[in-house]
Amino acid sequence: RKFTVIVLGSGGVGKSALVVKYVCGKFVDKYDPTIEDFYQKEVSYAGLPKTLNILDTAGTSQFSSLHDLYIKNGDGFLIVYNLANKQSFNDIRNMRETILRIKGLP
């Protein structure tokens, strides 16, 4: 079975760095704004092989209309923020509310 994980967060918080480290095992320390990147990783869960489709999304509000489509098709979500950036922490509340609204959850 395949699972789609959507990575959300403000711009520059480290979403891509986390995904690349998890998927490829290397750390990227250069900031390069993302529009959209797609990764796959084979994992084992409960002894069974699974495929994670990981969508690394743009952090800017410029692409927020795309986020609704991504969220609609997502099975799981990783919301990332920067501890040194209070606004990025404040932004995650709206992201969570958007996920709940689109997925039809209370």
Tally of structural domains, the chain: 1
Q: What is the CATH number of the domain that holds 62?
A: 3.40.50.300
**pLDDT tens digits for range 18-59:** 999 999 999 988 777 777 889 999 999 999 999 999 999 887
d(CA 74, CA 101): 13
pTM over 0.85: yes
**pLDDT tens digits for range 11-27:** 899 999 999 999 999 99
58, with CB counted inside 10 A (0-12, 13-18, 19+), is buried
Per the structure, the complete domain to which residue 45 belongs is given by: 2-103
